[in-house]
A = this chain, B = another copy of it.
C-alpha cells in the first residue's frame, strides 16, 4: 500500500484484494463545483440548487418520490482514496475515519439529506449537497423523521478514544 500523500499522524491499511459486492451507478449529480476546493465544507454550507440526473432506465422507481419533502441520497466519491483509517483533516482534529464524514473511507459512499424542490421526469432539483459535479449516484431514499431525525444527537467536541 502506498503511503503517498499521507499527512503526519494518518494511518493507512492494506485493503482486501477483492471486493465483496458491486454497485451500479444509477445516475449523476450535477453541482456548481468542479474542483474539490470549491465544494462547501458541509452539506448545509450552501443553498445552491443541485440536480440529480437519474439514468432513464430507473425512471419508474421515482413514482411517489414527489410526495417527499426530503430525501436521503447515497453517492459514490469515486475520486477518494479508500485506505486511510486515521485522518488529519485540514480543519479539525485527527480522528478515526468512522468518526469523520470525509469521503476517504473503505467504502467511499457519502450520505446527504437533501430538500427536494422539484421532480421533472428523471431530473430532481435538490438543496443540501456538497459534492463535485458529476459524482455518481447510487441510491435515493425517502427521509422519514420518525426514524432518521435525532435532533438531540451529540458528537462531543473533545476527542475520546473508543475504549
Contacts and interface: CB of A to CB of B under 8 A. Distances in A.
A40 to B, nearest CB: 11
Given A98-B141, A162-B119, A67 B107 contact: no
Query: How many monomers of this chain does the complex have?
Result: 2
Contacts of A63: 86, 95-96, 99, 159, 161-162
Q: How large is the interface on A (under 10, 10 to 19, 20 to 34, 35 or more residues)?
A: 35 or more
Interface string A121-157: 0000000100000001011111111111111111110
Interface string A85-106: 1100000010111111100011
A144 to B, nearest CB: 6
Contact of A23 (B107, B143, B163): B107
Contact of A67 (B16, B62, B113, B159): B159
A16 B21 contact: no
Interface string A27-41: 000000000000000
A13 interface: yes
Contacts of A160: 64, 66-67
Contacts of A113: 147-148, 150
9 contacts: A65-B98, A66-B163, A67-B159, A68-B153, A113-B150, A115-B150, A143-B153, A144-B155, A149-B150
Interface of A: 11, 13-16, 18-26, 42-44, 57-70, 72, 74, 76, 78, 85-86, 93, 95-101, 105-107, 109, 111-113, 115, 119, 128, 136, 138-156, 158-163
